[in-house]
Amino acid sequence: MAESPRLKRLMKNSEHTPTILIADDQPHILEALRLLLKSEGFRIETANSPNAILKAIEKSDFDVVLMDMNYARDTTSGQEGLDLLAHIQLVDNTLPIVVMTAWGSVELAVETIRRGAKDFIQKPWDNTRLLAILRTQIELGQALKKGQRLEAENLLLRNDKSPKLIAQSPEMQPVLEVISRVGPSDANVLITGENGTGKGVVASALHTVSKRASKLMVTVNVGGLSDSLFESELFGHVKGAFTDAKTDRVGRFELAQGGTLFLDEIANVAINQQAKLLRVLETGEFERVGSSKTHKADVRIISATNANLNEEVAAGRFRQDLLFRLNTIEIRLPPLRQRREDIPFLADYFLKRHAERYRKKIIGFESAAVEILLAYNWPGNVRELEHAIERAVLMAQGSLVKAADLGLQSPQDAAKRLEDMSLEEVEYFLIKKALTRYDGNVSRAADALGLSRSALYRRLQRYGL
């Protein structure tokens, strides 16, 4: 029998043949349904017991389940099916379920719908009605999953600024070479370097030249996730998994399927969470919080840190086996003070970007401003440079940025007495001094200042460092 136009549309929209799990304890029922649905172009799997149904759902993805309500020979109440509905909901509450029974009643039909079934069929079934119900539920199920994914993708795309990789200096040429050679592969890459050196930009460049470029690159600051949010953010959760889980949520691994997952601040992942991350990297498998259904992750992992992970391993704060999984290739980014040839190009790029953003007619820099840009040590690297240029665009009153507009300390300003500074100026000065002393190493700077890493990070964000 030829495939129906509606089924062809389903297959085109979903990019795969819809798969139906048929469950019944009667072999002749299974065979009759298998022949009917296979002739309509569906892919079919069968199960003959509640345990077999649950195992099949945990192992494979289905577009709809068509299941009997009774399995024990002396049972006609439908209670087995009602209990099974609850178990299936725990495994995958987005999976459409159509129930059927030869012992139907209005009360049973109502109760199955209340327990999560999408529709009810009484045996003996009408072929036309059965096919219409299954096709409808397949479409609705696909629409629900697509809606969840699009919602998560749109949230990411709204926050995507797509920064540009600017690298003219000799110190950046080895970085560009590794990107061109490693980018097209699926190798995991670890990007290291001081805070603000542009690790996220390099991750974007790697994704852009990869065979996964048509898919999403999903970024998550794993170091900023609390223990309670780590699994939910990375693996997703189902409705009711915890108090605030009002709806199902797609995790970052699931969202990045077929694409790239960028794990920023990887050194800050708590040691007890590292084992969960390692398991996904080793097996490619994970479960949403609150569900026992296993999902497969086909993602490329790019990670980044400003810490020395070998030192973290030696100190017992980072798993060595996880490090081996992450750094198939390592790219180390030089600090901005070691690639000063790039400063004019970066400054010009940020100037055009923020002048357009704030609708200001600024075309360049005065010579004194350029001298300060080139002489300044940039402890906050490219991120601090962008912050300074954005400030200058806001402060500038003419068509050229002046030295004073940048808000950077000249040698004379640095000699300013501490007692003449405000509390914020003192804090800003001491943080920059500590970052410079320890070559941008946030952990060492935080120790010197008597702060935790998270407390220093909050101040770095506040001051644009």
User: Is a pLDDT exceeding 60 seen at residue 434?
Assistant: yes
Q: How confident is the model at residue 1 (pLDDT cuts 50, 70, 90)?
A: very low
Write the secondary structure of the chain as one string of H (helix), E (strand) and C (coil): CCCCHHHHHHHHHHCCCCEEEEECCCHHHHHHHHHHHHHCCCEEEEECCHHHHHHHHHHCCCCEEEEECCCCCCCCCCHHHHHHHHHHHHHCCCCCEEEEECCCCHHHHHHHHHCCCCEEEECCCCHHHHHHHHHHHHHHHHHHHHHHHHHHHHHHHHCCCCCCCCCCCHHHHHHHHHHHHHCCCCCCEEEECCCCCCHHHHHHHHHHCCCCCCCCEEEEEHHHCCHHHHHHHHHEECCCCCCCCCCCEECHHHHCCCCEEEEECHHHCCHHHHHHHHHHHHHCEEECECCCCEEECCCEEEEEECCCHHHHHHCCCCCHHHHHHHCCEEEECCCHHHCHHHHHHHHHHHHHHHHHHCCCCCCEECHHHHHHHHHCCCCCHHHHHHHHHHHHHHHCCCCEECHHHHCCCCHHHHCCCHHHCCHHHHHHHHHHHHHHHCCCCHHHHHHHHCCCHHHHHHHHHHCCC
Q: How confident is the model at residue 411 (pLDDT cuts 50, 70, 90)?
A: very low
Q: 353 and 396, same structural domain?
A: yes
Q: 178 and 327, same structural domain?
A: yes
Q: How confident is the model at residue 171 (pLDDT cuts 50, 70, 90)?
A: very high
More confident residue, 285 or 75: 285
CATH label of the domain that carries residue 75: 3.40.50.2300
More confident residue, 372 or 92: 372
Give me the percent of the chain exceeding a pLDDT of 90.
37
Q: Quick one: average pLDDT of 181-197? A: 93
Q: 319 and 198, same structural domain?
A: yes
Q: 385 and 315, same structural domain?
A: no
Q: How confident is the model at residue 446 (pLDDT cuts 50, 70, 90)?
A: confident
| Residue 221 covered by a domain | yes
Q: pLDDT for 387-408, tens place per residue?
A: 999 999 999 998 999 999 998 8
What is the dihedral angle through the alpha carbons of 269, 273, 277, 278, rounded to the nearest 10 degrees?
A: 100
User: Is a pLDDT exceeding 80 seen at residue 89?
Assistant: no
Give the pLDDT confidence score for residue 291 in this predicted structure. Answer: 84
Least confident of 55-64, 153-162, 164-173, 405-414: 153-162
Q: 94 and 11, same structural domain?
A: yes
Least confident of 105-119, 182-196, 252-266: 105-119
Take residue 435 and report the two structure tokens written for it. Answer: 């970052």
Q: 178 and 323, same structural domain?
A: yes
| Residue 164 covered by a domain | no
Q: Choose the final residue of a domain: 132, 147, 162.
A: 147
| Residue 304 covered by a domain | yes
Q: Quick one: average pLDDT of 281-294? A: 88
Q: Choose the final residue of a domain: 318, 334, 350.
A: 334
Q: pLDDT for 219-235, tens place per residue?
A: 999 887 887 789 889 99
Take residue 324 and report the two structure tokens written for it. Answer: 């081996």
User: Is a pLDDT exceeding 50 seen at residue 127?
Assistant: yes
Q: 392 and 288, same structural domain?
A: no
Give the pLDDT confidence score for residue 409 in this predicted structure. Answer: 66
User: Is a pLDDT exceeding 90 seen at residue 123?
Assistant: no
Q: Report the chain's terminal Cα–Cα distance, integer Å.
A: 67
| Residue 418, φ and ψ in degrees, nearest 5 | -60, -35
Give the pLDDT confidence score for residue 227 in this predicted structure. Answer: 79
Q: 261 and 305, same structural domain?
A: yes
Q: How confident is the model at residue 153 (pLDDT cuts 50, 70, 90)?
A: low
User: Is a pLDDT exceeding 60 seen at residue 74?
Assistant: no
Give the pLDDT confidence score for residue 340 in this predicted structure. Answer: 92
Q: How confident is the model at residue 432 (pLDDT cuts 50, 70, 90)?
A: confident
Of the candidates 424, 26, 81, the residue with the CA atom closest to the CA atom of residue 432: 424
Say which residue the tokens 């970024």 belong to: 219
Q: 347 and 240, same structural domain?
A: no
| Residue 156 covered by a domain | no
| Residue 454 covered by a domain | yes
Q: Are 317 and 270 in contact (CB under 8 A)?
A: no
- Where on the phi/psi map is residue 407: left (φ > 0), alpha (ψ -120 to 50), or beta? left
Q: Are 393 and 353 in contact (CB under 8 A)?
A: no
More confident residue, 8 or 61: 61
| Residue 327 covered by a domain | yes
C-alpha span between 315 and 324 (Å, rounded): 16
Beta carbons within 10 angstroms of residue 258's beta carbon: 12
Give me the percent of the chain exceeding a pLDDT of 70.
87
User: Is a pLDDT exceeding 70 seen at residue 132?
Assistant: yes
Give the pLDDT confidence score for residue 417 in this predicted structure. Answer: 54
Highest-confidence segment of 27-31, 117-121, 248-252, 441-445: 27-31
| Residue 391 covered by a domain | yes
Take residue 459 and report the two structure tokens written for it. Answer: 């101040």
C-alpha span between 211 and 433 (Å, rounded): 43
Q: Choose the final residue of a domain: 334, 352, 368.
A: 334
Q: 231 and 117, same structural domain?
A: no
Beta carbons within 10 angstroms of residue 141's beta carbon: 20
Q: 189 and 282, same structural domain?
A: yes
C-alpha span between 62 and 92 (Å, rounded): 10
User: What is the number of domains present in the chain?
Assistant: 3
Q: What is the mean pLDDT of the chain?
A: 83
| Residue 246 covered by a domain | yes
Q: How confident is the model at residue 2 (pLDDT cuts 50, 70, 90)?
A: very low
User: Is a pLDDT exceeding 50 seen at residue 436?
Assistant: yes
| Residue 295, φ and ψ in degrees, nearest 5 | -110, 155
C-alpha span between 314 and 461 (Å, rounded): 29
Parent domain of 115: 5-147
Torsion 134-136-137-143 (CA) sign: positive
Q: 262 and 124, same structural domain?
A: no
C-alpha span between 137 and 21 (Å, rounded): 13
User: Is a pLDDT exceeding 70 seen at residue 151?
Assistant: no
CATH label of the domain that carries residue 180: 3.40.50.300
CATH label of the domain that carries residue 378: 1.10.8.60
